[in-house]
Amino acid sequence: MIIGPGSAHSALDVVPGGVYDLSVWAGSRAPGPATATGLRFHDRAGVQTGRTYALRPVRETKRQNSYGMVAPRDAATVQFFATTTTEIHWDCVFLRVSAYDVALDAGQDTLKITNTGSEPLTGLKLTGCADSPPFDLNVKDQVVRTCAGTGPVTVSGALYWNGALPDRSVDVLRYQPQHPGGRQLQDR
């Protein structure tokens, strides 16, 4: 609770590109134009990056939700804040993040898809990688696939509780060894 002008905040490490959903019980006996709770994203230098997502509480304490806030790629922390010029109180802050990472070990043509968020993901599909059925990712799960060949591999169809996450692509370049001598010999 804050009485009189002031602000409070709490910061956590961010998942860049993750989709954040905030639910907070908040209210104010005297809501003013600068009374709000919300989220901000900051880079490694502590400078705000992206926009501020603010919720304006009403006189009665009730649940407020803000969904689909995308963390900028250069974000290092996400900050919950409460601010007022009069009075504000809050309780039960819930923050969810939905995200996944795609990494390629090019030397082995191994593709790793990891759930880096706090929510399960369903319906993921790979295109450009043979014989890969759709799959789901629980929290912190990882799926490994071998994708031999060349060209892009795209992960698509990732669904979280409130919608779909953006597709992600990587290029698979198959290693092609050269002739042991380093050049091709020709018959004459």
Residue 44, domain extent: 2-98
Exposure b/e, 3-42, CB count within 10 A at least 16 = b: eeeeeeeeeeebbbbbbbbbebbbbbeebeeebbbbbbbb
Check residue 111 and give its pLDDT.
87
Residue 181 resides in a domain: no
Q: Which two three-digit tokens encode residue 179?
A: 């002739």
- Length in residues, the chain: 188
Is the pTM value of this prediction over 0.85?
no
Residue 132 and residue 128: Cα distance in Å, rounded?
9
Check residue 149 and give its pLDDT.
67
pLDDT digits 0-9 by tens, 160-179:
999 999 999 888 664 444 44
In which residue ranges of the chain is pLDDT below 70?
Answer: 106, 149-150, 172-188
Are 155 and 122 within one domain? yes
Residue 142 and residue 115: Cα distance in Å, rounded?
6
Are 9 and 90 within one domain? yes
Locus of tokens 């900051």:
42
Are 17 and 79 within one domain? yes
Check residue 12 and give its pLDDT.
94
Structural domains in the chain (count): 2
